[in-house]
Amino acid sequence: MIAWVVRGLLVASGAVAEWFVAPDAANFEIVQMALALILLALVVFALAFWPRAWTAWLNRGGKAE
């Protein structure tokens, strides 16, 4: 299960890293890992600060009270 998360992060960060660095460059893996860590930090930040109002709204199926 954790391998799927890591693989998804690396695929996403690899796609973004290709915009800035050639895939055959010597530092491509370093840039890819840095972007993966930034993406992971953004996901953790979003989950940590997810507003309770959004959760309540999503649990109601988007319907107003």
State residue 62's pLDDT score: 61
65 within domain boundaries: no
10-40 residue pLDDT tens: 899 999 999 999 999 999 999 999 999 999 9
- Residue in 4, 3, 38 with CA at minimum distance from that of residue 20: 38
Measured CA to CA, the distance from residue 26 to residue 62 in angstroms comes to 48
For residue 37, how many other CB atoms are within 10 A of its CB? 12
Task: Tell me if 9 is assigned to some domain.
Answer: yes
Tokens 């940590």 belong to 48
Does 64 map to a domain?
no
Residue 48 lies in a domain: yes
- Domain of residue 22: give its range: 2-59
Quickly list DSSP for 14-63.
HHHHHHHS-TTSTTHHHHHHHHHHHHHHHHHHHHHT--HHHHHHHHTTS-
List pLDDT tens digits, range 33-56: 999 999 999 988 888 887 777 777
pTM, rounded to two decimals = 0.70
Residue 20 in any domain: the answer is yes
Q: Indicate the number of domains in the chain.
A: 1
Q: What is the pLDDT of residue 54?
A: 76
